[in-house]
A and B are shown apart, each in its own frame.
Chain A
Amino acid sequence: MQSPPEFKRRVFRTGLPRTPEEELQVVRRSVFFHLHPMRLSADRMRIRFTWCLGGLTFLLFLATVFTGALLMIYYRPTLENAYGDILDLRYTVFLGGFLRNVHRWAGHGIVITLVLHMLRVFYTGSYKPPREFNWIVGVCLFLIVLGFAFTGYLLPWDQISYWGTRVGTNLLHSVPFLGSDGPFGRELGLTPGRDLTSLILGDSDLGPRALIRFYTLHVFILPLLSLIFLMVHFWRVRKDGKLASRL
């Protein structure tokens, strides 16, 4: 048996930092802290500089991840169960309605704070070189968030989500080269049952295939993508300077 102090030394290898140098070492060596800058200038920390909008978006993202993981325990993405499970969450599951509402409102909040964040970045000119690459990464994240919103909308499988998705996916018939009604669609042999819309729905009509596809996108593929882009986004915030520049 190892003695407890030995175990503690092996897990918390260095112990608490005692000097400012050691504090910096902690930030540099930890995988969780190192994305954050080691030093921040007091001037850049003023709330009115960024309004902390990106951070708020990330906070809401964490809220949707947490509540979403819990909602997954009850929700089954099939035509027979989806709507019933939503009603169950609302009326029978302890805290189910609360968690679902937090998930929903945090999801709406992400779109709002994200747009405000983009406006802030735009009006302060923060998209300009040397930070133009991070602006592009941010736009990708914005598109991913729209994907989250669109796929999540279908999952309750009620009237508004069914028809909302129906309208949204029917719009894709008009995409050039890929949609049956778009420019060059007919010429390329695309039909309403075989084009971009059916690729996304997994069938010629909105049905069980579409529900499971949207679910997979919503709970696995888009979160994976967003994690990758968020990593790059935060890393670039630190590396590109200005906000996190040297003192």
Chain B
Amino acid sequence: MPPNTVLTSEPKDRRKFLLQLSWGGLAFSAAVFMTTILRFVWPSVSSRPPRSFQVGFPDDYRVGQVAYHPGREVFILRDERGFLSLSARCTHLGCLVVWNRDHKMFLCPCHGGKFDAAGRNVEGPPPRPLDLFDLRIDKNGFLVVDQDIIIKRPKGPVPRFQPEKA
């Protein structure tokens, strides 16, 4: 092998390697830069209230009480059999229903939809019962509503949440 082959090929390889290293470094820096900018633009906090939230202790509710939580749009019901948590959104067009103590019914002010005390649609345009949200007891003993879990209604009576069994 003539001595000058080594001299000409080696710097070329090195040059190629350094060039690749430079481009790689540049691409890496650009990627880090773009990720950082994206992370900056990405919202860290949300103004939307959490989907699962505490509604006090179970003993805060009397038997037979229907308590509305404004802002959360949720009713908490307690009767002899246990607790129910109902969405206040009318299943027709999403208006907020109100509890009528005399008729023992949820009435929708928009188009006259009526729901019974368990949230079943009994009159008017609503196509299905009010949504039933999941209830649980957290480690501090609070009653917690989870709006992300909608309980499927069985054919018969609606199953109540019983804190002592949970």
Residues in chain A within 8 A of chain B (CB atoms): 193-194, 198-199, 201-205, 207, 209
Task: State in angstroms the CA–CA spacing of A207 and B43 once bound together.
Answer: 13
Interface: B4 (CB within 8 A): no
Task: Please tell me if the beta carbons of A204 and B41 are within 8 angstroms of each other in the complex.
Answer: no
Q: Are A199 and B41 in contact (CB under 8 A)?
A: yes
What is the CB-to-nearest-CB distance from B63 to chain A, in angstroms, rounded to a whole number? Answer: 36
How long is the Cα–Cα vector from A194 to B46 in the complex, in angstroms? 9
B48 CB within 8 Å of chain A: yes
Closest residue on chain A to residue B45 by CB atoms: A203
Q: Which residues of A lie under 8 Å from residue B45 when comparing CB positions? A: 203
A contact residues around B43 at 8 Å (CB): 198-199, 201-204, 209
Which residues 21-61 in B have Cβ within 8 Å of A in the complex?
Answer: 41-43, 45-48
Which residues of chain B have C-beta atoms less than 8 A from A207's C-beta?
A: 47
Residues from chain B with Cβ under 8 Å of A202 in the complex? 41, 43
Residues of A within 8 A of B48 (CB): 193, 203-205
Additional pairs, 10, CB under 8 Å, beyond known A204-B46, A205-B48, A209-B43: A198-B46, A199-B41, A199-B42, A199-B43, A202-B43, A203-B46, A203-B47, A203-B48, A204-B47, A205-B47
Whether B42 and A193, one on each chain, are in contact in the complex, defined by CB atoms closer than 8 angstroms, is no
Q: Which residues of B contact A199 (CB under 8 A)?
A: 41-43
Tell me, rounded to whole Å, the shortest Cβ–Cβ distance linking A12 to chain B.
43
With both chains docked as a complex, state the minimum distance between the C-beta of A212 and any C-beta of chain B, in angstroms. Answer: 12
The CA of A49 and the CA of B42, in the complex, are separated in Å by 47
| Residue of B41, B42, B47 with highest tally of chain A CB at under 10 A | B47
| Complex interface: chain B residues within 8 A of A193 (CB) | 46, 48
CB-CB < 8 A to A203: which residues of B? 43, 45-48
Please, how many angstroms separate the alpha-carbon atoms of A219 and B63 in the complex?
Answer: 59
> In the complex, how many angstroms separate the beta carbon of A109 from the nearest chain B beta carbon?
31
A-facing mask of B4-20, CB < 8 A → 1, else 0?
Answer: 00000000000000000
User: Which residues of A have CB within 8 Å of B42?
Assistant: 199
The residue in chain A whose Cβ has the minimal distance to the Cβ of B46 is A204
| Least CB separation from B49: chain A residue | A204
Residues of A within 8 A of B47 (CB): 203-205, 207
Complex formed: what's the CA distance from A202 to B41 in Å?
Answer: 7
Determine how close the nearest CB of chain B comes to the CB of A16; give it in whole angstroms.
Answer: 48
Bound Cα distance from A34 to B41, whole angstroms? 38
Residues from chain B with Cβ under 8 Å of A204 in the complex: 43, 46-48
Closest residue of chain B to A202 (Cβ to Cβ) is B43
Q: Nearest CB to that of B47 among chain A residues?
A: A203
Q: What are the nearest 8 A-B pairs in CB distance?
A: A204-B48, A204-B46, A202-B43, A203-B47, A193-B46, A193-B48, A203-B43, A198-B43
With a cutoff of 8 Å between Cβ atoms, the chain B residues found around residue A209 in the complex are: 43
